[in-house]
Amino acid sequence: MRVIDTDFEGLYELEPKVFGDDRGYFFESFREDFTHSLGIKEKFIQDNQSFSVKGTLRGLHFQRNPSAQAKLVRVTAGKVLDVALDIRKDSPTYGRHHTVILDAKKHNMFLIPAGFAHGFLALEDSVFTYKCSNYYNQASEGGILWNDPKLNIDWQIESPIVSEKDQVLPNFETYSKNPSF
């Protein structure tokens, strides 16, 4: 597996070694010993999957402690612009984000440690999978407004399809004043 560093502690893009021939392909999409070697010690205990039509934007979401989640995400069909926003108060990259294009043809993945808000934009109709280190807990759910101008995230779209819930999330400044993380 090839590891692409992001300059954010614990945040990595991963490209698996794909073995292909005229029958198709094979690759390892997860190995616990590998994620542990990168410093991700959490055990992944829940898998989620979503389908999004082209132009759908989901996020920026997170789970507060004690239900914070590390995530290993990828697309199994389509292509998305994936965004991780560092919300770890003591981090030198606090308030900064990193983006990566996840592409089913490329089979790449994004390993996101706990302490990041996460969102994505479907660049094509896409099936998105999440491997999570903690169970979803509605009481711990949080979010930050996807289009907060202070975050300066280039979503590469003028008018995405966004849920009502995601349209009214607090901006980053409001979150920073009361993070409860």
CA distance 142 to 6: 24
Is 61 one of the annotated active-site residues of the chain?
yes
Phi, psi (rounded to 5 degrees) for 51: -120, 135
Q: What is the DSSP letter of 105?
A: T
User: What are the E-state strand segments in 37-174?
Assistant: 46-52, 56-63, 71-77, 79-86, 97-103, 109-112, 116-122, 126-132, 141-143, 161-162
Q: Which of 98, 107, 118, 130 is catalytic?
A: 130
Amino acid identity of residue 84, one-letter, is A
CA distances from 61 to 21, 34, 45, 86, 145 (A): 39, 26, 19, 12, 9
CA distance 144 to 175: 7
Q: Which of 61, 97, 136, 175 is catalytic?
A: 61
User: Which residues are known catalytic residues?
Assistant: 61, 130
